[in-house]
């Protein structure tokens, strides 16, 4: 049993006041693996005060020195990669080998890339008689989710620190242990006291306290669209800068001239990564009506290769969901789809055979899904792929754009130019062309109710900068 009853505030581990704790369960067994103290208004006030006090000195620190701290944190993550990867696999359910590459490898890349950008970025430029300064926003509150917990933390913390901001982090209470590991690495890096602070707690208490705090200059939030709207509403009272990375219902469109033997298995993989617990997952697979049966056969064959099991065991290609609450939510969506007329090709809401404990849901493919169905409009956040048929390219585009979301997408065609032309019409922040690989340095963010602002690369760094003009 892991016990965490301290928060990291002003360079020290401070015992959390009060007696509120949350239990963190191991995703593969459902057993409690940790008890974490939940902070409150006291911890928020202390952390924000520390960040405000530290801001003057940190913002005046040369960018190259701030970048050096990012490199130290990157190195510290590298040294603890195996330990942290296993911790996240247990918390979230991603198979261990993938957890090393994605859940720890991506954060390492982000800290390294931000260090490089900090050394090269033009914080001062000229426009005629104006000297243009790019200055840090100030005190940043970072509120992060549980699905890619350390990656989402790094996507906020790394650029904020390099930009010269000070930070208060509120990680998800569902998977908070990795944030403690990062805080220990940051402490060992020698980062000045107050520049980084960790406060645990619920969104309703700690998240809202940060959003309304008068000494917080910016909120960087990743999570559900519902929670993001609440954060933006509260923060608007003090006109804070708010960036939101929210939900998605992303479409993968296979045009009739595409290589279906490549496209369909790739689409399945883009839906099932991290057991479908991915905001940018391509959860809707759109195919020409005359090729629907071919796509069904190929999708089922691909789904059958996803061995479900303990994320710490070799051979497991898909792990459990993060919690029992999430498992019940996903099962409810599957049952809803079937009641609305969808066809179950593989999987379903029943307990997977041989897996009597843990938060498991079988890899599931639904066909005959139509745009008005709940599963075609709402984010499921589980291993559920919806196959949808279209009559022509116009209908495919209408279906792809026909949700409140616009985070990601994919297009497959025998002609790269045709795929790009289709992608230009999709109202979404990122589109894969013929299975294009994820680029951790490309801008990431959404249109519509998938949010605003961008993370990663120089776009992510610029979110944490103000612009000032000195007229000479």
Report, as residue numbers or ranges, the catalytic residues.
Answer: 245, 279
Distance between CA 259 and CA 408 in Å, rounded?
A: 21
Q: Strand runs (DSSP E) across 311-363, as ranges?
A: 343-346
Q: Strand runs (DSSP E) across 137-217, as ranges?
A: 139-143, 166-170, 196-198
Q: Sheet of 364-367: strands edge to edge?
A: 343-346, 364-367, 384-390, 282-288, 250-254, 409-412, 431-433
3-state secondary structure of 114: helix
Query: What is the rounded end-to-end Cα distance, in angstroms, of the chain?
Result: 62
Burial class (CB in 10 A: 0-12, 13-18, 19+), 215: middle
Distance between CA 378 and CA 64 in Å, rounded?
A: 44
Tokens coding 186? 């940051």
| CA angle centred on 249, ends 248 and 254, rounded to 5° | 130
Dihedral angle sign, alpha carbons of residues 375, 381, 382, 383? positive
Distance between CA 140 and CA 240 in Å, rounded?
A: 10
- CA-based nearest residue to 95, from 280, 310, 354: 310
- CA-based nearest residue to 285, from 303, 271, 302, 304: 271
Burial class (CB in 10 A: 0-12, 13-18, 19+), 401: middle
């Amino acid at each position: 049993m892991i016990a965490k009853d301290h928060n990291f505030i002003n360079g020290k581990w401070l015992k959390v006041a009060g007696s509120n704790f949350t239990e963190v369960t191991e995703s593969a067994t459902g057993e409690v693996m940790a008890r974490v103290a939940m902070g409150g208004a006291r911890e928020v006030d202390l952390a924000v005060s520390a960040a405000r006090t530290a801001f003057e000195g940190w913002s005046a620190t040369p960018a190259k020195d701030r970048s050096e701290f990012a490199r130290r944190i990157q190195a510290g993550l590298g040294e603890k990669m195996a330990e942290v990867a296993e911790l996240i696999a247990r918390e979230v359910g991603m198979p261990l080998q993938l957890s090393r590459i994605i859940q720890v490898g991506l954060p390492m890349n982000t800290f390294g890339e931000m260090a490089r950008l900090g050394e090269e970025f033009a914080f001062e430029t000229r426009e005629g008689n104006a000297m243009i300064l790019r200055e840090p926003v100030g005190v940043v509150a970072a509120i992060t989710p549980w699905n890619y917990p350390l990656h989402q933390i790094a996507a906020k913390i790394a650029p904020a620190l390099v930009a010269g901001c000070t930070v208060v982090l509120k990680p998800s209470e569902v998977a908070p242990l990795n944030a403690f590991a990062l805080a220990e690495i940051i402490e060992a890096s020698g980062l000045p006291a107050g520049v980084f602070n960790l406060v645990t707690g619920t969104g309703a208490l700690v998240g809202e306290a940060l959003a309304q705090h008068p000494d917080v200059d910016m909120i960087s939030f990743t999570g559900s669209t519902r929670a993001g709207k609440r954060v933006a509403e509260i923060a608007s009272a003090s006109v804070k800068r708010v960036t939101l990375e929210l939900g998605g219902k992303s479409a993968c469109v296979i045009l009739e001239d595409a290589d279906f033997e490549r496209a369909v298995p790739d689409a399945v993989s883009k839906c099932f990564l991290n057991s479908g617990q991915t905001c940018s997952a391509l959860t809707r697979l759109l195919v020409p009506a005359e090729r629907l049966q071919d796509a069904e056969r190929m999708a089922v064959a691909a789904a059958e290769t996803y061995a479900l099991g303990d994320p710490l065991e070799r051979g497991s290609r898909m792990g459990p969901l993060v919690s029992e609450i999430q498992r019940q939510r996903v099962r409810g969506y599957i049952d809803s789809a079937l009641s609305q007329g969808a066809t179950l090709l593989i999987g379903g809401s029943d307990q997977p055979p041989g897996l009597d404990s843990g938060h498991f849901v079988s890899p599931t493919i639904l066909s005959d899904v139509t745009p008005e169905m709940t599963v075609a409009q709402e984010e499921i956040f589980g291993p559920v792929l919806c196959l949808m048929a279209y009559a022509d390219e116009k209908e495919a585009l209408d279906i792809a754009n026909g949700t409140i979301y616009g985070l990601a997408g994919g297009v497959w065609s025998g002609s790269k130019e045709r795929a790009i032309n289709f992608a230009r019409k999709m109202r979404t922040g990122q589109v894969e062309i013929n299975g294009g690989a994820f680029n951790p340095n490309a801008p990431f963010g959404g249109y519509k109710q998938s949010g605003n602002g961008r993370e990663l690369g120089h776009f992510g760094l610029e979110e944490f900068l103000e612009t000032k003009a000195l007229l000479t």
